[in-house]
Amino acid sequence: MRDITYPPVIWTCKTLFKALGQKITISGAENIPLEGGALLASNHIGYVDFVYAGLAAQPANGRLVRFMAKKEVFDHPVGGPIMRSLHHIPVDRGDGIGSFHHAVDFLKKGELVGIFPEATISRAMEIKEFKTGAVRIAAAAGVPVIPVVLWGTQRMMTKDHPKDFSRGKSIHIQVGAPMPVTGDDPVAETAELRSTMSAMLDDVIAGYPADEQPPGSWWLPAKHGGSAPTLERAAEMDAEEKRERARRKAAKAAARKS
């Protein structure tokens, strides 16, 4: 697979991170194979997560990750062509079978594929419930799932908060041990993956610079002394957002008919 766009995009991102004075720590990168397919499953706390999750594979001979992202991103007049040039995978939430097979095909060809099992950003900054897609895709391709946990990315750009690209932020990326999956019981294997990543996230939060996440910080989970919504409240907010999005869509449809 030819990659003309991906290398310069990575170089540009790394240059930008340096200009922003970011302190990026990657641990466990040795868990990513130097060759062969694997599915990287990452938590989702901010809009720039895919950029940093992709960094996790850079120590492994500069390997590239093909991320699964919602179809709407590919429909954007500017972002769409870029996403396609990077060979990322569009996901139609109304009909995901095509993206499923696309991801399996990439994995069988020895590619690294990235996925966010939570599907949407976690307002709680904790690990939300997982979809079973990650396990089912990895099992169908005969590759392991590699858990990846990000922390600090939410401070730049996430739901319900203004963008903040001020200098000096720490970004921690932790890669866990490959998790073999069979797909025989995707619900149980998904629960195991979520439990593993929840424990990893707790470790990453504990090791994050204390002066960058003082008690009460909006980006810190409630159970860690922050003011982020609880998982229960975050679920309510997600449902409210979904209803509002459906209302706006219906209103636009009605306006077009009138």
Mean pLDDT of 230-235: 96
Provide the b/e sequence for 17-30 (b: ≥16 CB within 10 Å): beeeebeeebbbbe
Instruction: Assign 1 a pLDDT band (cuts: 50, 70, 90).
Output: confident
Cβ burial, residue 142 (10 Å; 0-12/13-18/19+): middle
77-124 pLDDT per residue, tens: 888 899 999 999 999 877 778 999 999 999 999 999 999 999 999 999
Q: Would you say residue 25 has pLDDT above 90?
A: yes
pLDDT value of position 125: 98
> What residues pair up with 112 in beta bridges, in sequence order?
38, 65
32-48 pLDDT per residue, tens: 999 999 999 999 999 99
CA distance 176 to 20: 27
CA distance 14 to 52: 10
pLDDT value of position 79: 85
Largest CA distance in the chain: 59
Helices 97-108, 133-141: inter-axial angle, 10-degree rounding: 40
CA distance 105 to 156: 34
pLDDT value of position 256: 86
CA distance 43 to 219: 14
Cβ burial, residue 218 (10 Å; 0-12/13-18/19+): middle
50-80 pLDDT per residue, tens: 999 999 999 988 999 999 998 888 888 888 8
pLDDT value of position 75: 87
**pTM of the full structure:** 0.93
Lowest mean pLDDT among 75-79, 200-204, 209-213, 247-251: 75-79
Lowest mean pLDDT among 42-46, 119-123, 162-166, 249-253: 249-253
pLDDT value of position 254: 87
Lowest mean pLDDT among 68-77, 118-127, 151-160, 204-213: 68-77
pLDDT value of position 94: 72
